[in-house]
């Protein structure tokens, strides 16, 4: 059964921007010492796809016993955005990702679902000149489970004709929650997390295309 719809995560799937965010989190917590900044990085890597708002709330409570209000969390998120936005906009594309979008957009519908704030991802895809490939671009504060379910219902999509492409455990979780096909984009930071994953996995989009064709999904 050929696919009709694809949900794409962004960082690590369409752009090689995972390390940019990792280093920005490290930079923000470096003044508190290597022990804390290393724990921040470990948590970030092991919880890829979780919004930065949830991460900051967790870290501030875990390390400093602070229960920050929404305004304080937003302030931290804004500082992070200042550090990382241009790095993500200028990050290298995942190999053959744009060629894949260009080839299949006439016959399929594409959406982005990401842990990046919605207003920020809209800026990023516009500046990278890829916004026109997508029906919609969706980010936090709503999570990936919400967006996958919402889009299926709003557009009356068939889950068996819908693929979620991601690189984080939250992506796989959202795909399983909504009974979607899932394809894992391998990268250096998720290697250990998905060591036992036996489903579709790929390093670049030509490899993914070959796999999907072999499974009669394209």
Same domain, 48 and 34: yes
Same domain, 29 and 126: no
Same domain, 124 and 210: yes
Q: Determine the structural domain holding residue 43 and report its residue range.
A: 18-89
Q: Does residue 214 have a pLDDT over 90? A: yes
Residue length of the chain: 218
User: Of 89, 111, 144, which marks where a domain is finished?
Assistant: 89
Residue with tokens 């489970």: 145
pTM, 2 dp: 0.86
Same domain, 57 and 132: no
Overall average pLDDT of the 54-66 stretch: 95
**Residue 166, pLDDT score:** 97
CB atoms within 10 A of CB 217: 16
Same domain, 49 and 11: no
Compute the distance between CA of residue 214 and CA of residue 218 in angstroms, rounded to an integer: 8
Same domain, 32 and 99: no
Overall average pLDDT of the 103-127 stretch: 96
Compute the distance between CA of residue 103 and CA of residue 97 in angstroms, rounded to an integer: 10
Tokens of 22: 């990792």
Of 90, 46, 89, 80, nearest to 60 (Cα)? 80
């Amino acid at each position: 059964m050929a696919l009709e719809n694809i949900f794409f995560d962004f960082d690590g799937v369409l752009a090689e921007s995972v390390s940019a965010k990792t280093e920005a989190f490290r930079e923000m917590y470096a003044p508190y010492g290597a022990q804390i900044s290393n724990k921040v990085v470990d948590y970030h890597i092991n919880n890829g796809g979780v919004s930065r708002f949830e991460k900051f709330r967790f870290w501030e409570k875990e390390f400093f016993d602070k229960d920050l209000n929404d305004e304080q969390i937003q302030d931290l998120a804004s500082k992070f955005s200042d550090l990382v936005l241009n790095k993500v906009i200028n990050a290298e594309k995942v190999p053959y990702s744009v060629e894949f979008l260009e080839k299949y957009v006439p016959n399929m519908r594409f959406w982005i679902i990401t842990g990046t704030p919605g207003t920020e991802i809209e800026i990023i895809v516009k500046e990278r000149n890829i916004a026109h490939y997508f029906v919609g671009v969706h980010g936090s504060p709503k999570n990936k489970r919400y967006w996958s379910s919402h889009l299926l219902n709003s557009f009356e999509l068939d889950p068996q004709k819908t693929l979620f492409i991601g690189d984080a455990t939250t992506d796989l979780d959202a795909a399983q929650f909504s009974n979607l096909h899932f394809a894992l984009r391998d990268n250096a930071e998720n290697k250990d997390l998905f060591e036992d994953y036996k489903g579709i996995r790929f390093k670049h989009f030509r490899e993914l295309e070959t796999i999907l064709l072999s499974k009669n999904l394209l």
